[in-house]
Amino acid sequence: MNSPDAVKKAQIVIANSIADMAKVADLVDRFGAEHAIPQRAVDNMNVCLDELLNNTISYGYSDDKAHEIAVELSLVDRALLIAEVRDDGVAFDPRQAAAPAFDGSVGGLGIHFVRKLMDAIDYLRVGKYNVVRITKKLQPEA
């Protein structure tokens, strides 16, 4: 069982706007610095969140209305860095996305990066919300 301080958390809610994605990157950078998370893990998490958020903002909404996207970061026992993204966009399970063709087109590359850089990707549809959780195992620093 985890002790209360074995899990550190931070969260942010952004608008479904490409400009707001920078706020998430700032949060990840600050969270990494505050908890001495290896820079490579912070960078990998930022790449993956950028891809997931860009897909959600660009393709996840069938209207032009304002929507909120919640991002929560967790550091569990200094061993796992987890990000959970919750949005009310159209249902999309990134685990089911087709592999990229590697034929010069760019479709599918973002999800490919997420699969390669993270150790786990989980997805749930909860009511009208997509909940995507990505997990990075942290390696002890040498």
We report the CATH number of the domain holding residue 42 as 3.30.565.10
Give the chain's domain count.
1
pLDDT tens profile 22-71: 999 999 999 999 999 999 999 999 999 999 999 999 999 999 999 999 99
Structural domain contains residue 67? yes
- Establish if 142 belongs to a structural domain: no
Judge whether 48 lies within some domain.
yes
Residue 32's domain spans which residues?
4-137
pLDDT digits (tens, 9 = 90+) for 103-127: 555 555 678 889 999 999 999 999 9
What are φ and ψ of residue 40, in 5° steps? -60, -40
**Over 90: is that where the pLDDT of 3 sits?**
no
Q: Is residue 19 part of a domain?
A: yes
In a domain, 99, yes or no: yes
pLDDT in the model for residue 78: 93
> What pLDDT is stored for residue 65 in this prediction?
94
